[in-house]
């Protein structure tokens, strides 16, 4: 039987440390960018939110999350009636022009290009 030559690779621990360091950097930057996107959508949404007392607009929030699939962000409203107002018919007479139903959906849709730009920027 012929003897096989075994090659020994050294320095893999250093390479792994460097890779892990870069992955952590990417995660940190991703979380920051997702949060920035969340704030963008929230701020747009608040401007589209119907206003009567200001309570609904004041209940808007953004929370960064660590989900099993990676970093995420939650955007929403804490006012108990937010879903009701969000789903009201467009035919309803809202007191301020430009406001109305689907305020969160519209803000997200209107922000799509900016979100794509923010998230796809190179990480240095």
How does pLDDT run across 78-99, given as a tens digit for each residue? 999 999 999 998 778 777 888 9
CA angle 39, 40, 41 (to 5 degrees): 90
Tokens 């962000």, residue?
73
Q: Two tokens at 33?
A: 């960018």
Give percent of the chain above pLDDT 90. 65
Predicted TM-score (pTM) of this structure: 0.82
3-class state of residue 8 by DSSP = coil
pLDDT of residue 122: 82
Half-sphere exposure of 108 toward its Cβ, with a 13 Å CA cutoff? 10
Q: Two tokens at 37?
A: 């996107």
How does pLDDT run across 23-41, given as a tens digit for each residue? 999 999 999 999 999 999 9
> What is the distance between the alpha carbons of residues 33 and 3, in angstroms, rounded to a whole number?
55
Residue 69 DSSP code: T
**DSSP character string of 72-107:** EEEEEE-STTHHHHHTS-TTS--SSTT--SSHHHHH
Under 8 Å CB-to-CB from 76, ≥6 apart: which residues?
Answer: 60, 61, 82, 104
């Amino acid at each position: 039987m012929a003897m096989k030559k075994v090659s020994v690779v050294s320095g893999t621990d250093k390479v792994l440390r460097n890779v892990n360091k870069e992955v952590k950097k990417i995660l940190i930057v991703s979380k920051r960018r997702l949060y920035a996107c969340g704030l963008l959508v929230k701020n747009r949404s608040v401007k589209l939110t119907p206003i009567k007392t200001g309570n609904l607009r004041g209940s808007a929030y953004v929370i960064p999350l660590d989900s099993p699939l990676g970093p995420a962000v939650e955007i929403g409203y804490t006012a108990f009636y937010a879903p009701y107002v969000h789903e009201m018919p467009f035919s309803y007479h809202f007191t301020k022009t430009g406001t109305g139903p689907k305020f969160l959906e519209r803000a997200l849709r209107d922000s799509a290009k900016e979100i794509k730009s923010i998230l796809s920027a190179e990480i240095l």
